[in-house]
Structure 1
């Protein structure tokens, strides 16, 4: 563990995080974490814990974390999509070179429906962008 702990700790949860103030300046020199807020990334809501009023410093740290977290999640989404393209290519190679008739029978309909759905949405979104660019 490094010698200097951060002043704030964010416990990530599905829609955001719980925010804690980290305290090591106590009599026992133990790490204490005092929850100061719960935040929701999706709607930008910051709920102070109990009857606490958040300071400008605390709000600034929370807003900064929310911005950084939103950027990180967006990067992960794109990375997941690139990974999905790789999986599609690997799946194509598997179908071409390795899959047995029984294996293909087990997955063909699901793959075809998923690919049809994806293609339909991609084509519609592409058409929307082209029409928007023309206007």
Structure 2
């Protein structure tokens, strides 16, 4: 069975990834991963590792990965918020049907403050969008 390995491997980190060039061009056909760069997804910086000089192909692959990763993270962020909406609905049902007085005492104040803060920000942002010139 023959498996085609990718040319690059991206080890995901908190704000980006460590980039490795993958190779099997040795006598033992072992997988070798040479670190070539560190990338930051938030600001798009690409820092070569040590004395490595990145080729045009390296840069193109890294930039493509950054763009794909940014799109993936943006989609996840929206999905996380939609899950939060579901969780708020489940919380409402829990409060309505099963929560004890002691449980409500433990969560009511923090939930009310959090929801007040969220509502204030959402209303302000909505007003900004509605009053934005040119729309």
Q: Which TM bucket (shorter chain)?
A: over 0.9
RMSD: 1.4
Gaps of 5+ in 1: none
Q: Secondary structure at the match of 2:125?
A: helix
Q: Report the equivalent of 2:95.
A: 95
Change in Cα spacing, 1:49 to 1:96, as seen in structure 2 (3 Å) is same
1:77 equivalent to 2:77? Answer yes
Q: Secondary structure at the match of 2:21?
A: strand
TM-score with structure 2 setting the length: 0.96
Greater than 2 Å deviation, 4+ residue runs: none
* CA-CA distance at 1:133 after TM superposition: 4.9
What CA deviation, in whole Å up to 9, does each residue of 1:2-39 have, x standing for no partner?
61111100000000000000011111111110000000
Q: Report the equivalent of 1:114.
A: 114
Change in Cα spacing, 1:134 to 1:30, as seen in structure 2 (3 Å) is closer
Whole-angstrom distance in 2 between the partners of 1:13 and 1:104: 38
What CA deviation, in whole Å up to 9, does each residue of 1:32-81 have, x standing for no partner?
10000000011110000111111110000000000000000000000000
Q: Report the equivalent of 1:45.
A: 45
Q: Secondary structure at the match of 2:92?
A: helix
Q: Report the equivalent of 1:66.
A: 66
Whole-angstrom distance in 2 between the partners of 1:127 and 1:68: 32
Gaps of 5+ in 2: none
Whole-angstrom distance in 1 between the partners of 2:46 and 2:134: 40
TM-score with structure 1 setting the length: 0.96
Whole-angstrom distance in 2 between the partners of 1:61 and 1:131: 41
